[in-house]
A = this chain, B = another copy of it.
Amino acid sequence: MKKMQEKIQRWIKGNRQSSIDFLGELVQAQSTQGDEEQAQKIVERKLRSLGFDVDVWEPAGDELLDHDYFYSPRTDFSGSPNVVGLMRGAGGGRSIILNGHIDVVPEGDHKQWKDHPYSGKIEDGKMYGRGVTDMKGGNLSLLLAMQAIKECGIKLKGDVIFQSVVEEESGGAGTLAAILRGYKADAALIPEPTNMRIFPKQQGSMWFRVHVKGRSAHGGTRYEGVSAIEKSLLVIEQIRQLETERNERITDPLYERTPIPIPINVGVIEGGNWPSSVPDEVKIEGRMGVAPDETMEHAKQDLQRALDKLSETDAWFIEHPPALEWFGGRWVPGTIDLEHELMNTLVEQFRSARGSEPIIEASPWGTDGGLLSNVGDTPTIVFGPGVTDVAHHADEYIVLDEVFACAEIVAFTLLRWCGVVENGG
């Protein structure tokens, strides 16, 4: 095993420049929603060149569109294919899904960027570009791990299913489509940018909207009306209190370092249309965090109950209860047993590669891991290079050394998890 590991390390080192070039190519293929095809073709070519079985398809069909967990602002995925490559094992080993999304969030205002948002420019060991951290860097780690194993002549026992999916940034329809296509494994790994922390649990989230009612009046006699803005302050206060209550329930040590494990973020407020009128409606939109071991339904009930309670302290709400709706984004929480064998393996390989203890935490955001574990019945760990601080912002970058370090840890983990045919090389 030691020898195989050294061989892999040498291979990764020796192919550093071509790998960086490949990542640059991936970044330059701007794969915002609806525009993923060029990047997926690059991935497909790479998988075919490695001799993998390759499956390319555009998500579609009623089973997907009518699925309880389907969420996307669109229903037509023409030109937005998923790409899956199968590195078939010799048999007798455990299988694994390696999942990474190819879609990137829009680059925003180009003037905010030092260079072109899709430059793939390298400076001080960092590559810059939209999507390089979230999550093409992580995808490269996966591809490199597989390629290194393959080119070092190592034969795994278990199957490795690499998934380059669309739609993660918009609710996970790409991964859901892969699950419905039948892809399943004994475990999964998603190299989202965790800054090399290991996330066995991922927070889910849902978007909500609350309509708060008032009664209009002229501003000069505002006491004749009821301000929906004043009432919405009470609603926000109630939401804040619910957040406190929900987080007091969280005792999981994985959340020890997190100030608010499952926040409820009020992101948008909008109400009234005339400075000198008492506003009769306010709309509040937000994101509710869902604990890794909680159902979406339970979280929904929590918020509804909190809003219902408002009428106990303010009679206005008896006749005019705030109307709650769930809309838009929805990310299923995910969790893997802390004693799961993939956890043990990953932690062990991390220790041996980095010479330090990994940080094990619960993620503050959702990933496709929720779908994989809850719908696809495939327990998932999230672990990857890059920091989320720079994702979704201008001048997104990744430290290239981390991509290679992650590739090495993933490769070593695959050897252990899938098992090696000893005379495979």
Residues of A participating in the B interface, judged by any CB pair closer than 8 Å:
203, 205, 207-209, 218-223, 227, 229-230, 232-233, 236-237, 259-260, 263, 265-279, 282, 285-287, 289, 328-329, 363-366, 388, 392
Contact A365 B329 (CB under 8 A): no
Contact B276 A287 (CB under 8 A): yes
Contact A270 B270 (CB under 8 A): yes
Number of copies: 2
Q: Which secondary structure characterizes the binding site on chain A?
A: mixed
> What residues on B are CB-neighbors of A271 within 8 Å?
268-270
Q: Which of B221, B265, B275, B388 lies in contact with A276, CB distance below 8 A?
A: B265
From known contacts A286-B275, A392-B218, infer whether A263 and B223 are also in contact, taking CB-CB under 8 Å. yes
> What residues on B are CB-neighbors of A365 within 8 Å?
218, 220-221
Q: Which of B207, B220, B260 lies in contact with A289, CB distance below 8 A?
A: B220
From known contacts A364-B221, A392-B218, infer whether A275 and B279 are also in contact, taking CB-CB under 8 Å. no
Distance A271 CA – B265 CA, assembled complex (angstroms): 13
A288 CB to closest chain B CB (Å) equals: 9
Most buried by B among A220, A237, A277: A220
Distance A260 CA – B219 CA, assembled complex (angstroms): 11
Contact B269 A282 (CB under 8 A): yes
Distance A181 CA – B363 CA, assembled complex (angstroms): 71
Distance A285 CA – B274 CA, assembled complex (angstroms): 8
Q: Which of B229, B275, B366 lies in contact with A207, CB distance below 8 A?
A: B275
From known contacts A229-B236, A233-B236, A270-B270, infer whether A222 and B276 are also in contact, taking CB-CB under 8 Å. no
Contact A203 B220 (CB under 8 A): yes
Contact B275 A285 (CB under 8 A): yes
A77 CB to closest chain B CB (Å) equals: 23
Q: Given A275-B285, A276-B286, output 15 extra A-B contacts at Cβ < 8 Å.
A: A205-B219, A205-B276, A207-B276, A218-B364, A218-B365, A219-B263, A219-B286, A219-B287, A220-B265, A221-B364, A227-B265, A229-B269, A233-B237, A268-B271, A276-B329
Q: Which of B203, B233, B275 lies in contact with A267, CB distance below 8 A?
A: B275
Contact B219 A267 (CB under 8 A): yes
Q: Which of B230, B275, B363 lies in contact with A268, CB distance below 8 A?
A: B275
Contact B277 A265 (CB under 8 A): yes
Contact B260 A218 (CB under 8 A): no
A394 CB to closest chain B CB (Å) equals: 12
